[in-house]
Chains A and B, each alone.
Chain A
Amino acid sequence: MYNFEFEQPTTVADAVKALSEEDAQALGGGQTLLPTMKQRLAMPSKLVSLTAIDEIKGVKKDGDQLVIGGGTTHGTVAREASADYPGLAGLASKIGDPAVRNRGTMGGSLANNDPSACYPAALLASGGTVVTDRREIAADDYFQGMFTTALEEGEIITAVKLPIPEKSNYQKFEQPASRFPLVGVFVAKYAGGVRVAVTGASNEGVFRWTEAEEALSGDFSASALEGLSASAEGMISDIHGSSEYRAHLIGVMTKRAVTAAA
């Protein structure tokens, strides 16, 4: 790792200020950034740690939605969201291993937008909103392709608002080595309809499987998905699975998520 400056502000305002410097980089739980730096593939001049900012931590219920601070760890989400949003808590409880879950944060995961990350599926399937230090961004506008989001330079995710569904579930099929999802599907059923978000599969990152959403909005059961298949076009093809295999798994995981949620 190359040398860098380190700052650990305690307020969002101070963090935004620190991040205004050129080549400064926000550091959440460091689960992606630190390994990248150790491999010398990233060389920020300054790291601005967000871990001491209490105002962006915690899980709280606000009417019919759950508001989760951007600096909340996966472990905390797994524990504190379990009563109100078990589908989300279940997802959080299976990210990485305990060490990862005690360091990694929701904001960090969403800001990085790894095409194989779990949280983007939850945010998109929930039709949630990303709250930053300067604005609110709807999930449908937030994800802009692999490792790309609507965030601007130095913009910090302070919270995520997730409407609480009637039913939900996340199913992931793990890539054998990394155990990131080869395909992960989050299904959320709301009074107004069903949303299905898929991670791990597409070259464009997380996406909504709208055909499945339509079928499930009429009949929330695995059988409603019979005959429906996701297209292999645009799906990732690598040493762990072809695009056809990933497309096939989308169908399998969606059915399993619906069955588990129902």
Chain B
Amino acid sequence: MPKDSGIGASSKRREDVRFLTGAGNYTDDINIRGQAYVHFLRSDVAHGKINGIDTNAAEAMPGVVRIFTGKDFEGIGGLPCGWQVTDRHGEVMQEPPHPVLAQGKVRHVGDPIAAVVADTAEQARDAVEAIEVDLEELPAVINMKEALKEGATKVHDDLTSNLCYDWGFVEENKGAVEEAIQNAAHVTTLELVNNRLVANPMEPRVAVGDFERGTGNSTLYTTSQNPHVIRLLMGAFVLGIPEHKLRVVAPDVGGGFGTKIFHYAEEAFCTFAAKAINRPVKWTSSRSEAFISDAHGRDHVTKIELALDADNNFTAVRTETHANMGAYLSTFAPSVPTWLHGVLMAGNYKTPNIYVNVKAVFTNTVPVDAYRGAGRPEATYQLERVIDKAARELGVDPIALRRQNFITEFPYDTPVAVTYDTGDYGATMDKLEEMADIAGFAERRRQSEAKGKLRGLGINCYIEACGIAPSNLVGQLGARAGLYESATVRVNATGGLVVMTGSHSHGQGHETAFPQVIAEMIGIDESMIEIVHGDTANTPMGMGTYGSRSLAVGGSAMVRAAEKVINKAKKIAAHLMEASDADIELKDGAFSVAGTDKSVAWGDVCLAAYVPHNYPLEDLEPGLEETAFYDPSNFTYPSGAYACEVEVDPDTGKVTIERMMAADDFGNVVNPMIVSGQVHGGLAQGIGQALLENCVYDENGQLLSASYMDYAMPRASDLPNFEVDHSCATPCTHNPLGVKGCGEAGAIGSPPSVVNAVIDALNSGGKDVPHIDMPMSPARVWAAMNRASATGHGTAEGRSLGGASG
């Protein structure tokens, strides 16, 4: 019998009422009296030298308040990078400055050169067109391989090359891996591209800066997944505003997917300009602007080798990846191809020898940073593709090959630094096989063939590291921040609670799921609990929401704070009932004394805390409010098995997804409906990456897929009805809720199964196609079948390095 409230209940998302009835409060809904508007003049070339900026004509335009250029930001800090990677030679990465407005040079299409603040947005835009920039176009480097060649044009003149870092992991394993590969009975090699993506959250980015002359306080309203992080980065590193004089508010946010983690120039600009002109300043990104100013995702080019012994046991994995950083280091960019990618290369398998090499490269493109999954989809994709290729080469069943190599004993120390606390990969595979009706596939294939279609079945496993992250560990790995979370639980005199959390909800449903946990702990109705988040002024320190961490880390902080509250409440209850603390039990919203019929209601204890007439004042402070910080002792390791069935039209190359199944182990689940929704969204994005989405630059650095006319987003009609299951739960062993996180799994787990399915379909039709790069557009699939060229000028193949199948 499903529960109707508390942990495990599919409580309806309370926040959706306001979102669906137009009552949400998004950043663009915030309009402050006297507000001015900024429009940015952005570079239309990928690389150029600014010889001069003439703003005279623009300054005379109607409504113009002030025009800012790079000069105004001399002496102001640049946008900081939050992670420093140390390379395989012990050198720290090359870290170029990232100015708010361009200083002397522009380095990607979209790089902001100047900003006009005017009374209206249209006036600001009009005046931007009147600015004359003497811009000397320079050769651009777009292709990572070209960028690393001797004598290549440098994105940053002050750096020694375009190589940000050359990372080896684990460097000491390199020799053993080489030896294992040489001694292998079989080595499967695969070169592949993890295609560059544009996140495209429904709500574009917005920033409103405000300055109170009376108090000297600055406020930034922004579309952020982590307002406290923005406050710290912008306050301490860019504008020099102490945190107590700076408030950052991220109200309702319409999707983030990683791209709203980072601190952006427009946020710093609006905060800075509001003080400079003593008026609030607002910026609202257009969709076109988002394509050239939001951090992009993925863009890895990888060669992976999988070594197997004569019994098909995996003996080694070696990878070489080129990771595109774009023109500047976005906030967490260096961590994505390294610590969020390399440490996952064991996957679900007991491969003893693993070596990962990553070369991070600067190019004249938009900065690249975390996007749903962030490094883990890239790791999963390579591994699960090469395993599938190996199974095909060896003529063995891809499921059996995986099962044979599964890690089965936990905790398990991988050769890539992390320790999986728990999991049961056989169980999710069993569940998947049942869901996928593998026995019935042959008949379904026959039916497809009768219609002239090829049918393929692809499966894959995944593991991810979520619940980011133990601060002491990430500190050693180069993080310039702690990754704990905090929460304050405030009980009101009438028994209701407010939970102030550093986690931020921008679609995840925290406002519903978090109260379910508290309701379960106390035994009260969920409606008595309110979640407050997104405002540095009324929440404790927070590190925000990304890496599927909210419930595992933020939820754990909330549980710890609630435990403190309950412990104190028990003392009050003990006093009221003249019993010992140790004998007090809390159940169904009432405190009772064990072994007696004495009982006092939750609300009466709360009232006593705030009206302490009959209260142990000598031992206990009045009030009922506690704060807790929670720093996880390990990552969490959600895992699962996915399957995809496709039909391929052999005449056109068009792929249709017929079935998509996901069996996930997320540990304990608080709200199954929300978890299913998270998986559905992730699957849609993973399928988008596999079939549709492609961010393409031409050789001059012009973005060819700069609008929805050319950048294909997945739509409902591209997707089947998803079949998802999360009943195979091995609870996390090290956080109080036993939860692992579910936000990214769908996007991590789905691309390889889609590609594996298409390859399976083509092979069933007698087409010996070993690999097709994503997105598997009809043109690419047709070309792969016919050994022809898929696309014309300016393709991703032209931009990327190796591996592409044309």
Contacts and interface: CB of A to CB of B under 8 A. Distances in A.
Contacts of A239: 694, 696, 704-705, 710, 791-796
B157 to A, nearest CB: 31
Interface string A168-184: 00000100111000100
B711 interface: yes
Contacts of A243: 792
A241 B710 contact: no
Contact of B789 (A178, A236, A242): A242
Contact of B777 (A39, A40, A178, A240): A240
Interface in A239-256: 239-245, 248-249, 252
A135 to B, nearest CB: 34
Contacts of A252: 651-652
Interface in B650-672: 651-652, 654
A42 B711 CA distance: 23
B711 A237 contact: no
A240 B791 CA distance: 6
A39 B288 contact: yes
Given A176-B778, A177-B709, A249 B791 contact: no
A233 interface: no
A173 B779 CA distance: 11
Contacts of A64: none
A180 to B, nearest CB: 8
Nearest to A178: B709
Contacts of B288: 39
B783 interface: yes
B779 A177 contact: no
B704 A173 contact: no
Given A39-B288, A176-B777, A239-B795, A245 B711 contact: no
A161 B789 CA distance: 41
Contact of B788 (A39, A244, A249): A244
A238 interface: yes
Contacts of B777: 176, 240-241
A239 B698 CA distance: 10
Contacts of A182: 778
Given A39-B288, A173-B652, A176-B692, A237 B712 contact: no
Contacts of A240: 710, 777, 779, 791
Given A237-B791, A238-B792, A239-B791, A245 B782 contact: yes
Nearest to A253: B652
B696 to A, nearest CB: 5
Nearest to A176: B712
B791 A238 contact: yes
Size class of A's contact patch? Answer: 20 to 34
B708 interface: yes
Interface string B767-799: 000000000011100110010111111111000
Contacts of A40: 125, 129
Contacts of A237: 791-793
A241 B654 CA distance: 12
B739 to A, nearest CB: 37
B778 A238 contact: no
Nearest to B649: A252
A182 B782 CA distance: 14
Interface string A60-102: 0000000000000000000000000000000000000000000
A245 B704 contact: no
Interface in B697-723: 704-705, 708-713
Nearest to B789: A242
Contacts of B794: 238-239
A236 B779 CA distance: 13
B788 A245 contact: yes
A177 B712 contact: yes
Size class of B's contact patch? Answer: 20 to 34
B783 A245 contact: yes
B652 A242 contact: no
Nearest to A241: B779
A244 B790 CA distance: 8
A242 B708 contact: no
Contacts of A238: 704, 791-794
A248 B782 contact: yes
Given A178-B708, A240-B779, A249 B792 contact: no
A245 B710 CA distance: 17
B791 A241 contact: yes
A261 to B, nearest CB: 18
A82 B691 CA distance: 34
Contacts of B651: 252
Given A242-B783, A242-B789, A177 B652 contact: no
Given A177-B709, A178-B708, A252-B652, A242 B778 contact: no
Given A237-B792, A242-B790, A245-B788, A177 B708 contact: yes
B707 to A, nearest CB: 8
A27 B33 CA distance: 37
Contacts of A176: 691-692, 712, 777-778
A4 to B, nearest CB: 13
Among B125, B692, B712, max chain A CB count under 10 A is at: B712
Contacts of A249: 652
Contacts of A245: 778-779, 782-783, 788, 790-791
Contacts of B796: 239
A39 B288 CA distance: 9
Among A39, A239, A241, max chain B CB count under 10 A is at: A239
Contacts of B704: 238-239
A39 B129 CA distance: 13
Contacts of B129: 40
Given A242-B783, A252-B652, A177 B792 contact: no
A79 to B, nearest CB: 22
A241 B712 contact: no
A173 to B, nearest CB: 6
A77 B204 CA distance: 36
A27 B711 CA distance: 27
B621 to A, nearest CB: 60
A237 B798 CA distance: 14
B290 to A, nearest CB: 14
A258 to B, nearest CB: 14
Contacts of A177: 692, 705, 708-713
Contacts of B692: 176-177
A19 to B, nearest CB: 27
B492 to A, nearest CB: 48
Contacts of B125: 40
Nearest to B125: A40
Contacts of B654: 173
A39 to B, nearest CB: 7
A10 B705 CA distance: 41
A178 B706 CA distance: 12
Contacts of B783: 242, 245
B788 A242 contact: yes
B126 to A, nearest CB: 8
B778 A173 contact: yes
A130 to B, nearest CB: 27
Contacts of B711: 177
Interface in B287-305: 288
Nearest to B708: A177
A121 B777 CA distance: 25
A237 B129 CA distance: 33
A236 B793 CA distance: 10
Given A173-B654, A176-B778, 15 more contacts: A173-B652, A176-B777, A177-B710, A177-B712, A178-B708, A239-B710, A239-B796, A241-B777, A241-B790, A241-B792, A242-B791, A245-B783, A245-B791, A248-B782, A252-B652
14 contacts: A176-B691, A176-B777, A177-B709, A177-B710, A177-B713, A178-B708, A178-B709, A237-B791, A238-B793, A239-B694, A239-B792, A242-B779, A242-B788, A245-B788
Q: Would you list the 10 A-B pairs with minimal beta carbon distance, nearest first?
A: A237-B792, A177-B712, A241-B779, A176-B712, A178-B709, A252-B651, A245-B779, A242-B789, A238-B792, A239-B696
